[in-house]
Every structure is written in C-alpha cells, then in structure tokens.
Amino acid sequence: MAKYKKKRARELKHDKFRDTTLGLIDRVAPRLEGKGRQILYAIGGLIAVGLVAWVIMAWIGSRSDEARFALGRAIKITETPVIATPVAGSTAASFRTEKERAQKALEEFQKVAANYGGSVGEQARYFAATNQLIIDRAKGVSELEALTQSSDRDISALAKFAIAQVKEGDNKYDEAAALYSGILKEEGTIITPDSVNLRLAMAYQKLGKLSEAADILYKMVETARQAKGKDGKPIPQSSAVRKAEAELEKLDPDRHAKLPAPPLPSNLAM
C-alpha cells in the first residue's frame, strides 16, 4: 500500500505538470500573433519551469541531497518574478527581463550539468536548453536536438515536444505533425497522449487537414467521457481534453453534437 501511495503521488504530480503547462499555452496562445506567438511556441510550456519543479524533485528520488539541492536552486531562479520596474524599497528578488532571468538560470543549470552526471545531469541539460531558447534560439534548438538522443526517455520526449512546438512557431506544420506523431508512438513518458494529440490536431488544422483534426479531437473527448477509475467513478478531464472539446465545437459542430453525454459530477452520480 505504501508503494502504491508513493507511485500515485508521482502520477498526480505528473498530471499537474501536464495539465497546468498545457493550460497555460492554450490560454495565452490566442492572444499572441506573429512574433509573439512564435516565441510562445518556441518555449511552449517548457519554459514554465516552475510548473515542472515538483516533477523533477520526484524524478531525483534517492539521488544525493547535494545534487537535489543544486537543481532545486537553479529551478528556483526560473520561478523568480520578472518586474520591469521593481517597487521602490522592495527587497524581493526579481529580474527586469525574461532574458536576464533566462541567462542566470542557464548558467546555474549548466553548473549542475557539469557537476553531476546521470539523470540529474540530463535534467539540468534539458532546462539549460529551454532557457537557451530565450537567449539564442538557434543554439537552444540545437541543444534540444542533442537531447532527443538522451538515454532518459522522459528527457528525450520533452526535447522532441519542445522542438515540435518550435516548428509550429516557424509555421512548419508538416514537420511539427511528424514529430508529434512520433512522440505518440512512445509509451510511458512524462507527456500524456492527450497533450500530444491536441497539438497534433492543431497542426493538422493549420495544414487544412480538418477531417483528421476533427477525428483526433472527437476521439480524445469521447475516450475521456467514457473513462472510469478503479472505483468506477468518472475520471476528471484534463485541460487538454477540455480544450479539445472547445476546438471540436468550433471546427465541426455536427460532430461535436454526436459526443456521448458528459458524466455526471461525482456528487450527483448514483
């Protein structure tokens, strides 16, 4: 039972990262166009490092306290607020620009990568690469491409997902779709199929493959509405599924109308 609780705690942390990160992208993306949108997809939810901090701590597990604390210190930098004009007299830590913060975080993650090998080193390399995207986009992409060959399957998958989002930002939707399709063939990574499928459907829409996009969105919502946990109760829908439903309703209202009815709230279900 104790082992199950620990495993479930890790799963919940992963789910929180996936849902929060994707939700952040989906809320902000419609507000940005042109260059702003490219920047968004270049860093995607992957630069929202604070959202993955708890996942990283879970990954480290029994690693040395020194390595854990070193990575934690670097992650903390990415959580420091950016305030263009700090409040007079405030002693709270802050950075004036995203680039300034990214530079400092990059330096710290590089130190961790240089001092620790194994999983901790790979995690630090990944975070260094995502921060590098803000400073030198081409170099950041190059470093992410190298990480796609990582022996750590989660790091490899995250690197591919980041590159796919960069491709979206560059309007290279064919390449992005190919990467997303490849990620879907990998099982058991930190990235949920729903997160990848949503981005794949969005790429298909940009390519004019509306039927394929609608198929993906419909299947996502249908599966989620029918899913039940071991206790027989409906499983709460992720932000990716909620976004998929909204997109399907806009893309194909008739198909959306054919979805199975959503499950009743647990307090109303008999």
Return the pLDDT at 23.
43
Q: At what angle do helices 239-251 and 193-206 cross, to 10 degrees?
A: 30
Return the pLDDT at 265.
64
CA geometry: angle 52, 159, 107, nearest 5 deg? 65
* Rounded distance between C-alpha atoms, residue 176 and residue 25, angstroms: 16
What string of DSSP letters covers 15-65? HHHHHHHHHHHHHHGGG--HHHHHHHHHHTTTS-GGGGHHHHHHHHTTS-H
Tens digit of each residue's pLDDT (9 = 90 or more) over 57-83: 555 454 467 887 888 899 999 989 999
Tens digit of each residue's pLDDT (9 = 90 or more) over 17-62: 444 444 444 443 444 334 444 444 444 444 444 445 445 555 545 4
Positions of the chain with pLDDT under 70:
1-64, 265-270
Residue type, 60: I
Return the pLDDT at 217.
98
